[in-house]
Amino acid sequence: MPDYEKHAYDTNNIFAKILRSEFPCHKVYENEHVLAFLDIMPRAPGHTLVIPKAAARNILDVSPDDLAHVAIASQKIARAAMTAFTADGITLQQFSETAGGQVVFHLHVHVMPRHTGIALLPPASRKEDVKVLEDNATRLIAALE
Ligand code: AMP
């Protein structure tokens, strides 16, 4: 058995609950294959997470097709974020398994707008105000249209 198959997908992870609408999120984009929503502890304003709708723990078990849908959506979010946040650049990150820095075990790609000379906050530094998240979601949605 490959190593990655030893870790089963947990259907009760927080992003699975968001996909089932059992938990709220600040949604910015959705299609048949993916959902994108704001990170509640952003490392930069507009920090967005892109996830497949299919059950996938991380980069190790996701199907190539679902990964492709996530990559395509990440590019879409990145381009919109450049406009929405007048960003100078974008950082994408994806963590797999605890040793790789993963905390939530449903595959997600971090899309983080960047500004020259401004460092990312450390992961999980602080929970953002709901109003700020709402405003940032509105800006991103407008740039996606
Ligand atoms: P990681 O698994 O290390 O890639 O990080 C998980 C990310 O999910 C962190 O950046 C958290 O701030 C974020 N996060 C955790 N719970 C939620 C939630 N309910 N809604 C949005 N983002 C979340």
Q: What is the CATH number of the domain that holds 14?
A: 3.30.428.10
Overall number of domains in the chain: 1
Known catalytic residue: 108?
Answer: yes
Ligand 1 in reach of 68 Cβ (< 6 A) = no
Ligand 1 in reach of 101 Cβ (< 6 A) = yes
Structure-block tokens of residue 107: 């595959």
Question: What is the domain range of residue 24?
Answer: 3-144
Residues 95-115 as b or e (16 or more Cβ within 10 Å = b): bbeeeeebebbbbbbbbbbbe
Give me ligand 1 centre to Cα 39, in Å: 6
Give me ligand 1 centre to Cα 104, in Å: 6
pTM of the model: 0.97
Atom of ligand 1 nearest to the CA of 47: 10
In the chain, the amino acid numbered 37 is F
Tens place of pLDDT for every residue, the chain, 145 residues?
Answer: 666 666 899 999 999 999 999 999 999 999 999 999 999 999 999 999 999 999 999 999 999 999 999 999 999 999 999 999 999 999 999 999 999 999 999 999 999 999 999 999 999 999 999 999 999 999 999 999 9
Strand 27-30 with 34-38, pairing = antiparallel
